[in-house]
Amino acid sequence: AVEVGSTSEALEAAKAGADIVLLDNFTPQGALSAAAEVKAAHPQVTVEVSGGINMEVLPHFLGSHIDVISMGCLTHGATSLDFALRL
C-alpha cells in the first residue's frame, strides 16, 4: 500500500506494483479523477481515499473507481459512555 498526494504519484505507485493506492487529502473531484486514471491504467489496483472525509462530504467521494473510503471521524469523534455492571 502506498499513500500518495497527487495523481502522478498514484500512477507511479500503481506502475511500480502497489496493490493499494491511498489517495490522501484529495478534493472529491480530484479523488474521483485520480481514481479513474489509476483504474484505467491499472484495473487490478485497489484505490482508497482518506483524509478529512466525514458524513457530510462522503457522498461526494462515491464513485465507481473508488474501492475503499476511510473515515477517521468514526473513531476520532466517538463519544465515551461511562457505565458499570453491578451484580
- Is 60 contained in some domain? yes
Residue 46 placed within a domain: yes
Which structural domain, as residue segments, surrounds residue 24? 2-77
Q: Is residue 50 part of a domain?
A: yes
Indicate whether 83 belongs to any domain.
no
Q: What angle do CA 75, 52, 33 make, to 5 degrees?
A: 130
Residue 77 is predicted with a pLDDT of 65
86 occurs within a structural domain: no
- Asked whether the predicted pLDDT for residue 24 surpasses 70, the reply is yes
Q: Indicate yes or no: pTM above 0.85.
A: no
CATH of the domain at 72: 3.20.20.70
Q: Specify the higher pLDDT residue, 80 or 17.
A: 17
Q: By three-state DSSP, how is residue 46 classified? A: strand
* Domain-embedded: residue 33: yes
* Of the candidates 46, 28, 33, 29, the residue with the CA atom closest to the CA atom of residue 7: 33
- Give the list of residues 6+ apart from residue 30 with CB closer than 8 angstroms, or none: 7, 23
Q: How many CA atoms lie less than 13 Å away from 8 in the CB half-sphere?
A: 0
Q: Is residue 55 part of a domain?
A: yes
Q: What is the pLDDT of residues 43-86, one digit of tens each?
A: 999 999 999 899 999 999 999 999 999 997 767 666 777 888 87
Number of domains in the chain: 1
